[in-house]
Chain A
Amino acid sequence: MNRKLLFSDLLTAVSALAVAVALFLVFLVAPREAVMGNIQRVFYFHVPSAWVGYLALFVSFVASLLFLFRRERRWDRIAYSSVEIGLVYITQGIITGSIWAKATWGVWWTWEPRLTTSAVLWAIYASYLTLRRAMEDPSRRARVAAVYSVLGFVAVPINFMAIRWWRTVHPLVFDSEGSHLTPTMLAVLIFCVVTFTIVYFALLAFRLRLQRLSDQIQALKRH
């Protein structure tokens, strides 16, 4: 069997197992939060979703820079695939956050700094995908998308720092004093973050395989 395919299948199997263990930990091991109750369990997937969103956009940023310097197609493939996955996770983070907000704040949405910058971040990367689809010429598309991705990444640190720079109702779990979680809660959160990271790499491997297949088809059509 192809080594890349074997690695990708292994990553998928590990992801599935890790997700099952994460669900077990979230619902049966993590303690019930004293003030918010069970709804706080959203936190264990809300935070990893945001983390993977940031990670995916960072990977796209680095791959875009490498594409601009080296002009190798594989970096464009990674940048494109990673933005697509990142957008899925940013969407998950926004929606789960919105449901959590309704349960704790009483509103689905409020234009406070973290939520506003999240909406902007989502719009920037949704536009990236639209931009790619709008361009016919592959080399121009890759070049413009790479520049856009590098510039668009500015929104990621702003989104991350929003709850530290401005007054906000969004909770700040990690600050200069450390985390405001019990050791069990922190351990479950770390496990979920690692799980989501593995899932991200499994999805990226799958998405890249599709991208290569698509390139193969385009090459056959040209000849």
Chain B
Amino acid sequence: MAYLFGAYFVLWGITFGYLFFLGSRQKQLQRDLDRLLQDRQVSESPAQEGS
């Protein structure tokens, strides 16, 4: 029974580990995207005011 438990623990551990990796990657990418869009808005706004 210990081997069965071990096998299922590893199987779901890998699955949830991968899901956690994807989730944290998504958060990181979303943060980067928001920051880039914000920087872009800031850099574009003086030009718009000037025109």
Q: Which residues from chain A sit less than 8 Å from chain B, CB to CB?
A: 38-39, 41-42, 45-46, 49, 88, 91-92, 95-96, 99-100, 102-103, 203, 206-207, 209-210, 213-214, 216-217, 220-221
Contact = CB atoms under 8 A, between A and B. Distances in A.
A92 B10 CA distance: 8
B7 A42 contact: yes
A32 B1 CA distance: 12
Contacts of B15: 88, 92
B11 A102 contact: no
11 contacts: A38-B4, A88-B14, A88-B15, A92-B11, A99-B6, A100-B3, A100-B7, A103-B4, A203-B18, A209-B26, A220-B40
B29 A99 contact: no
Contact of A214 (B11, B18, B22, B29): B29
A161 B21 CA distance: 33
Q: Interface size class for chain B? A: 20 to 34
B36 A96 contact: no
Nearest to B14: A92
B29 A39 contact: no
Given A206-B22, A221-B36, A213 B29 contact: yes
B contacts with A: majority SS: helix
Interface of B: 1, 3-4, 6-8, 10-11, 14-15, 18, 22, 25-26, 29-30, 32-33, 36-37, 40
Nearest to A223: B40
A217 B34 CA distance: 9
A42 B5 CA distance: 9
A65 B11 CA distance: 31
B38 to A, nearest CB: 11
Contacts of B33: 213, 216-217, 220
B8 A45 contact: yes
Nearest to B1: A38
8 nearest A-B pairs in the assembled complex, by CB-CB distance: A103-B3, A99-B7, A213-B29, A42-B7, A220-B36, A96-B7, A88-B18, A95-B10
B1 to A, nearest CB: 6
A220 B33 CA distance: 8
B26 A41 contact: no
